[in-house]
């Protein structure tokens, strides 16, 4: 039985698309009354939209190549700038509507007031600023690495691990990089932290294992006294492109695992290791990717097999939805879980006491530290970038976590 296609949402999107662009065009028309404006505007907008649909249809075959990136970036910049322009234009139009209605009580009767050219100019300035902000995010923001430090306190931390430091990065997405020198700056910053332990929480590549090859010499420089450990993320399995055969897909994953070894990263695939210091230990566990909507491959019980319920545990799990589903209430207490995946959507604001990103509507915990049920979760905002080749407000992150004994506070 054929599945019926619901055309209503598609029709709604088309109507909203033309409504937005018609409204934006009316604003541009206030600034420029040329008869050529409307034809040029619609040819550009429709042409860009057609190119976007073509790029999307080719994505599974060609991946996120240069054409895909150029078109999606152009569409995203134009669409966002249009929304900003339309918002300020609407504020002005609503204000003049109120003034027009109030004029109905004047002796001259009802009058429809024209748009203020100054306000439309202001809306256009905001349009231009939005475009410039995106250009900054694409050219500079995606390599603006920052170090975020947290000191976390635990009652049950072994005494000899008081002050133990962990550097975490996530979501390298090597296939998106175009500037090795900028990437090297991030790696130098990682090594400058001189942490006891280094961990990477998944998504080494976008799709193909070969993406990391040009950067093996860079990331293999990362060293820590207690070692470098990693897990896989949803993109590492090659699920998002079409492979010539299933065997090619399997071989790609095996090659990726071997590249982790070349980097000096020990993969924890539903497994754990004991880190010992002066006769005391903590458990470092890692699982294969487990994420709602992104494949539930990981087996936490297997990863913790052989550990004691009272052992101090640190878990590497790529997707923060796993913490909600299986970790925060697990009978075997996991004191600290480290995740990534969200990228903070590479867009948002974290300043002036505001913490917001559109990704909050998909993930309850999308960035930073969360403490619940006596356990911590840290969601790293990502070292690399994907899809949108830039970052605005949510900068690439290197996390440094210091484990502290509560009694020594």
pLDDT (tens digit per residue) in 214-264: 999 999 999 999 999 999 999 999 999 889 999 999 999 999 999 999 999
Task: Please give the span between the terminal C-alpha atoms of the chain, in angstroms, as a whole number.
Answer: 66
The answer to whether residue 407 scores a pLDDT higher than 70 is yes
The DSSP bridge pattern shows strands 280-286 and 313-316 to be: parallel
Whether residue 340 contacts residue 318, with contact meaning beta carbons closer than 8 Å, is answered with yes
Q: Which helix (H) or strand (E) holds 371?
A: strand 368-372
CA angle 286/291/292 to nearest 5° reads 155
Q: Which helix (H) or strand (E) holds 26?
A: helix 7-31
Contacts of 87 (CB under 8 A, 6+ apart): none
pLDDT at res. 149: 98
Q: What's the order of all strands across the beta sheet hosting 197-200?
A: 146-154, 397-405, 164-169, 197-200, 228-230, 266-267
pLDDT at res. 231: 99
Q: CA dihedral defined by 141, 147, 153, 158, rounded to 10 degrees?
A: 130
Give CA–CA dist 73/67, Å, rounded.
10
3-state secondary structure of 23: helix
The answer to whether residue 293 scores a pLDDT higher than 90 is no
Average pLDDT score, the chain: 92
Q: In terms of C-beta density within 10 A (0-12 exposed, 13-18 middle, 19 or more buried), how is residue 215 classed?
A: buried
pLDDT interval class at 1 (50, 70, 90):
very low
Whether residue 255 contacts residue 216, with contact meaning beta carbons closer than 8 Å, is answered with no
**Can you give the pTM of this predicted structure?**
0.87
Q: What's the order of all strands across the beta sheet hosting 336-339?
A: 271-277, 280-286, 313-316, 336-339, 375-379, 368-372
pLDDT tens across 35-48, in order? 899 999 999 999 99
- The structure tokens listed for 110 are 């009802």
- The structure tokens listed for 386 are 């994907």
> What DSSP state is assigned to residue 347?
B
Whether residue 355 contacts residue 342, with contact meaning beta carbons closer than 8 Å, is answered with no
pLDDT at res. 313: 98
At the topology level of CATH, where does 144-408 sit?
Purple Acid Phosphatase; chain A, domain 2 (3.60.21)
Give CA–CA dist 46/18, Å, rounded.
10
pLDDT tens across 270-290, in order? 999 999 999 999 999 999 999
- The structure tokens listed for 190 are 């990682």
Give domain limits for the chain: 7-139, 144-408
pLDDT tens across 328-354, in order? 999 999 999 999 999 999 999 999 999
Closest CA to 397 of 373, 378, 371, 377: 378
Residue 210 or 63, more confident? 210
């Amino acid at each position: 039985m054929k599945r019926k296609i619901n055309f209503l949402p598609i029709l709604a999107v088309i109507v909203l698309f033309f409504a937005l662009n018609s409204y934006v065009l009316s604003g541009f028309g206030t600034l420029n009354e040329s008869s050529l404006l409307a034809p040029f505007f619609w040819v550009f907008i429709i042409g860009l939209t057609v190119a976007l649909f073509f790029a999307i249809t080719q994505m599974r075959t060609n991946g996120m190549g240069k054409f895909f990136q150029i078109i999606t970036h152009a569409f995203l910049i134009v669409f966002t700038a249009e929304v900003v322009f339309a918002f300020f234009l609407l504020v002005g139009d609503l204000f003049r509507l109120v003034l027009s209605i109030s004029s109905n009580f004047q002796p001259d009767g009802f009058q429809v007031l024209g748009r203020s050219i100054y306000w439309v100019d202001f809306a256009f300035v905001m349009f231009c600023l939005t475009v410039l902000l995106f250009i900054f995010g694409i050219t500079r923001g995606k390599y603006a690495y920052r170090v975020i430090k947290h000191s976390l306190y635990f009652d049950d931390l072994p005494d000899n691990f008081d002050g133990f430091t962990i550097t975490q990065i996530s979501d390298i997405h090597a296939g998106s990089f175009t500037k090795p020198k900028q990437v090297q700056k991030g790696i130098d910053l990682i090594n400058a932290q001189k942490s006891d332990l280094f961990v990477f929480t998944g998504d080494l590549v976008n799709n193909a294992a070969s993406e990391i090859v040009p950067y093996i010499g860079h990331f293999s420089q990362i060293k820590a006294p207690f070692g470098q450990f990693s897990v896989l993320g949803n993109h590492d399995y090659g699920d998002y492109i079409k492979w010539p055969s299933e065997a090619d897909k399997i071989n790609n994953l095996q090659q990726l695992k071997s590249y982790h070894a070349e980097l000096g990263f020990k993969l924890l695939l539903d497994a754990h290791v004991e880190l010992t210091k002066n006769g005391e230990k903590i458990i470092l566990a890692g699982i294969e990717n487990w994420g709602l909507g992104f494949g539930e491959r990981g087996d936490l019980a297997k990863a913790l097999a052989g550990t004691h319920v009272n052992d101090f545990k640190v878990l590497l799990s790529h997707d923060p939805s796993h913490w909600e589903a299986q970790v925060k209430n697990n009978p075997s207490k996991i004191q600290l879980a480290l995740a990534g995946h969200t990228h903070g959507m590479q867009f948002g604001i974290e300043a002036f006491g505001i913490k917001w990103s559109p990704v909050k509507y998909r993930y309850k915990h999308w960035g930073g530290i969360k403490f619940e049920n006596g356990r911590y979760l840290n969601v790293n905002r990502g070292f690399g970038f994907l899809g949108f080749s830039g970052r605005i407000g949510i900068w690439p992150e290197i996390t440094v976590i210091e484990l502290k004994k509560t009694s020594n506070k």
